[in-house]
């Protein structure tokens, strides 16, 4: 009887401790979280004379004057730079041989585009996925591109065909490059 009581008590204590730790590790909520979000939103928008950006009058440790760099921490360069769009899940491409699925190729693809277009890319993800998947299905039908996955020529062909299809469908999105982060093939 006592053994069961101790076991139940230990289980309850573990659940309570787990809940407290989970609550502490979970993303913040309340005033502290709201304050950090507000600070994070304005963080990149500060001018060179902001709170933590170097001031022209300040001297460095060697007695010389500090000079602001083009890519300083407080600079707002994200609007003219590149942004990377990560799809919510990988692409799974069936490879058909003799009218049956012979293997599956799994690709993790990201898109490099103008930073100003990142919100537009996010809102268009289903259409972008459709264009990429259609292109991948076309490529899988040629019978050779996915056969040699270590061939640089096949890798570059894959990248350029996806990029071309996306730039044709979305000419105003500023899509610059296709990044293939992972590629794997599973023979069935």
Can you tell me the distance from the alpha carbon of 84 to that of 77, in angstroms, rounded to the nearest whole number?
Answer: 15
Please indicate, yes or no, whether residues 86 and 73 belong to a single structural domain of this protein.
no
Please indicate, yes or no, whether residues 162 and 140 belong to a single structural domain of this protein.
yes
Mean predicted lDDT score pLDDT of the chain: 75
pLDDT band at residue 141 using 50, 70 and 90 as cut-offs: confident
Strands (E), the chain: 82-86, 91-97, 100-114, 175-187
Interval 22-36: pLDDT, tens: 777 775 544 444 444
Please indicate, yes or no, whether residues 52 and 115 belong to a single structural domain of this protein.
no
Please indicate, yes or no, whether residues 157 and 92 belong to a single structural domain of this protein.
yes
Is 21 part of any domain?
no
Please indicate, yes or no, whether residues 67 and 128 belong to a single structural domain of this protein.
no
Of the residues 61, 77, 93, the one at which a domain ends: 77
Please indicate, yes or no, whether residues 60 and 102 belong to a single structural domain of this protein.
no
Work out the burial of residue 90: count CB atoms within 10 Å of its CB; fewer than 13 is exposed, 13-18 middle, 19 or more buried.
middle
Please indicate, yes or no, whether residues 57 and 122 belong to a single structural domain of this protein.
no
> Do the Cβ atoms of 131 and 165 come closer than 8 Å?
yes
Please indicate, yes or no, whether residues 40 and 103 belong to a single structural domain of this protein.
no
pTM score: 0.54
The per-residue pLDDT for 185 is: 87
Of the residues 43, 77, 111, the one at which a domain ends: 77
Checking if the pLDDT of 16 tops 60, the result is yes
The per-residue pLDDT for 39 is: 47
Interval 69-106: pLDDT, tens: 444 433 334 456 888 889 889 999 988 888 888 888 89
The per-residue pLDDT for 30 is: 47
Please indicate, yes or no, whether residues 119 and 50 belong to a single structural domain of this protein.
no
If you average pLDDT over residues 146-171, what whole number do you get? 86
The total of structural domains in the chain comes to 2
Q: What is the DSSP string of 28-70?
A: P-SHHHHHHHHHHHHHTT--TTSSSSPPTT-B-TTSSBP---T
The boundaries of the domain holding residue 51 are: 31-77
Please indicate, yes or no, whether residues 63 and 113 belong to a single structural domain of this protein.
no
Please indicate, yes or no, whether residues 122 and 43 belong to a single structural domain of this protein.
no
Q: What CATH number is attached to the domain comprising 144? A: 3.30.479
């Amino acid at each position: 009887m006592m053994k069961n009581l101790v076991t139940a008590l230990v289980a309850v204590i573990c659940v309570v401790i787990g809940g407290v730790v989970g609550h502490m590790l979970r993303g913040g909520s309340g005033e502290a979280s709201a304050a950090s979000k507000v600070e994070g939103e304005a963080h990149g928008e500060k001018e060179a004379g902001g709170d933590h950006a170097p001031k022209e009058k300040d001297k460095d440790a060697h007695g010389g004057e500090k000079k602001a760099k083009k890519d300083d921490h407080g600079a707002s360069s994200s609007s003219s730079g590149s942004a990377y769009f990560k799809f919510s899940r990988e692409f799974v491409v069936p490879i058909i041989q003799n009218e049956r699925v012979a293997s599956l190729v799994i690709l993790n693809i990201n898109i490099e585009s103008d930073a100003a277009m990142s919100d537009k890319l996010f809102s268009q993800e289903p259409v972008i996925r459709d264009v990429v998947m259609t292109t991948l299905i076309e490529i899988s039908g040629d019978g050779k591109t996915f056969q040699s996955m270590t061939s640089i020529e096949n890798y570059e062909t894959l990248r350029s065909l996806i990029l071309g299809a996306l730039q044709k469908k979305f000419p105003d999105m500023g899509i610059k490059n296709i990044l293939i982060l992972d590629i794997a093939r599973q023979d069935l």
